[in-house]
Structure 1
Amino acid sequence: MNKELEHNFVTHLEQNQNIVHKVCRIYTHDIESHNDLFQEITIQLWKAFPKFRGDAKFSTWMYRVALNTAITLYRKSKRSIPTTDFDTVDFKISAEEYDDEEEQQLKLMYAAVKELNDIEKALVFLYLEDKSYRDISETMGITEVNARVKMNRVKTKLKKILNP
């Protein structure tokens, strides 16, 4: 494998790994699942990286791959997902410590988000990341108007969940 390609990938991943951690937190319920999903997303990013053309920002592309991997993995959770052994990849990434002890408000919000369907979770995630509706529509593959409408519906749904 091309060392320059590998170096570029590791650099981009280290700079943006918080994106993957946030996706993992939304789609998993425990640290083992979080780590498994982080590994699977990293592998999928590595496999897709040679095809990354730079048409969008790396972070936008990374969101899309991470969300698609998480959604696919958990929609097919009844079936076994083929994975690649991470030990066969010879690059090392210095991982940031993941702190599972967040404020109570954040925990309540994550609990409410977990009650949403996969697409709604992705919308909320991107919205909370301060992505514009244009970026959300590009990442999700929907129109900007559709992203706004869906987000308004999700906000209403979250209000009902948090304030029954």
Structure 2
Amino acid sequence: MEKEFISRIEKHQGIIHKICFVYAKNESDRKDLYQEIILQLWKSYPGFKGNSSFSTWMYRVALNTAITQNKKPKLLLLKTGVSPEIDDRVSKMEASEDIKVLYQAISHLNKIEKAIILLWLDEKSYDEIAETIGISVKNVSVKLVRIKTKLAQLIQKLQ
């Protein structure tokens, strides 16, 4: 089970890096959040039944962990063999000026808005977003329109 878990996490670790990049304020906080997400994924893994795709389940656990992270005391680091180093996609995100502005604007959103836009940017369907966040598909649509408008205004201010 441990090898299967590590393999799946390594395959989808970009999800964790994106969430950490959006929800944590600095590199130290990103590393802490990464470890907390891995810990929660490991604790929850025996309960993964395959009713949704692994990546959707992983998003749900990771986002819930990120949203509630500031309410919990720091936990010990989990040694899983998965490296918390930022992968190429996150490095590329940091390199582009437009992406930096976008993520800076996203950082001004509330936690649920961040989760919705992050899933949308990762090209998840409205159904997947609704399932992951726990809201209706219609609510996803309404929230995305509002979030996009809010982001457009924030980006204008930041440029």
Residue 68 (structure 1) aligned with residue 64 (structure 2): yes
Q: Distance in 2 between matches of 1:161 and 1:6?
A: 43
Instruction: Return closer, same or farther for 1:116/1:129 CA change in 2, 3 Å cut-off.
Output: same
Contact 1:43 1:84 in 2 (8 A): no
Q: How many angstroms does 1:71 deviate by?
A: 0.2
**TM-score normalized by the length of structure 2:** 0.90
Residue 93 (structure 1) aligned with residue 82 (structure 2): yes
Match of 1:53 in 2: 49
Contact 2:19 2:66 in 1 (8 A): yes
**Structure 1: any 5+ residue segments left out of the alignment?**
none
| Paired AA for residue 93 in structure 1 | V
Residue 147 (structure 1) aligned with residue 136 (structure 2): no
Larger radius of gyration: 1
Residue 81 (structure 1) aligned with residue 77 (structure 2): no
Deviations, residues 51-86 of structure 1 (Å, cap 9, x unaligned): 000000000000000000000013x2xxx5252442
Residue identity (%): 44
Q: How many angstroms does 1:105 deviate by?
A: 0.6
| Paired AA for residue 132 in structure 1 | S
How many positions carry a matched residue from both structures? Answer: 153
Structure with the higher fraction of residues in helix conformation: 2
| Paired AA for residue 162 in structure 1 | I
Match of 1:113 in 2: 106
Q: Distance in 2 between matches of 1:24 and 1:82?
A: 15
